[in-house]
Copies of this chain bind each other. A is one copy, B any other.
Amino acid sequence: MAIQLYGFWRSNAAFRVRVALALKQLPFEEIEVDILAGRQFDADYAQVNVERVVPTLIHDGHRVFQSLAIMEYLDEIHPSPRLMPEDAQGRAYVRAMAMVSVADSHPLVVPRVRKHLAETFGADATAIEAWCRHWAQEGLATYERMLEQRPAAPFAWGSAPTLADICIAGQKIIADLYQLDVAAFPHVAALTKRCFALPEFADAHPFRQDGYPG
């Protein structure tokens, strides 16, 4: 199958999809949409994705939006290896873990929010960074409490990575971007260390993408 991914080096959501594609050994072409320069609002990209966000996955000409929906789609059309548990309770747990980053933490630090803070509250770079660090830490703290309650064995749901691990690893990347030490969150630190020991995670890290300014 032919797969194209509209993404960006820094996009956490694009990272998630890159890991899912790599775990499933699906080759893809990545097309850059510079979300720091606002290219997601260009008329050209509006033809691709009216949501004006990255990533967009194109699979044999069919467009799929939103990282979580894309990962579930990939798991359904190409179920090997499985990134979701087989049972309903397991799937619910993995989806809930995913949402802590996808819905509760990451949305608060994306470019359009940083820009709106500057425009409405006159927030300068330092204030915006403090805002992002706050929500990044909230996400890490929530994951830490969840992993304390149900320790990874060795991944969040058993012996192999699932969508949960991909999203927790994404939260670690937000920490990397804002120079936060995850040592205060030992369960998260141990789990994400295991994730990034795998080439599928390590090679998808923003700092390893074309375009990363270093």
Contacts and interface: CB of A to CB of B under 8 A. Distances in A.
Interface in A106-127: 107-108, 112-113, 116-117, 120-121, 123, 127
A51 interface: yes
Contact of A121 (B65, B100, B127, B145): B127
A99 B68 CA distance: 8
B134 A116 contact: yes
23 contacts: A50-B146, A50-B149, A51-B146, A52-B142, A53-B104, A62-B89, A66-B100, A68-B99, A69-B93, A70-B92, A72-B91, A72-B95, A99-B103, A103-B107, A107-B108, A108-B108, A108-B113, A112-B138, A116-B131, A116-B134, A120-B131, A120-B134, A121-B121
A120 to B, nearest CB: 6
B107 A104 contact: yes
A120 B130 contact: yes
Given A50-B149, A102-B103, A120-B131, A77 B69 contact: no
B66 A95 contact: yes
- Tell me the dominant secondary structure on chain A's binding face: helix
Contact of A142 (B50, B104, B108, B116): B50
A58 B68 CA distance: 24
A2 interface: no
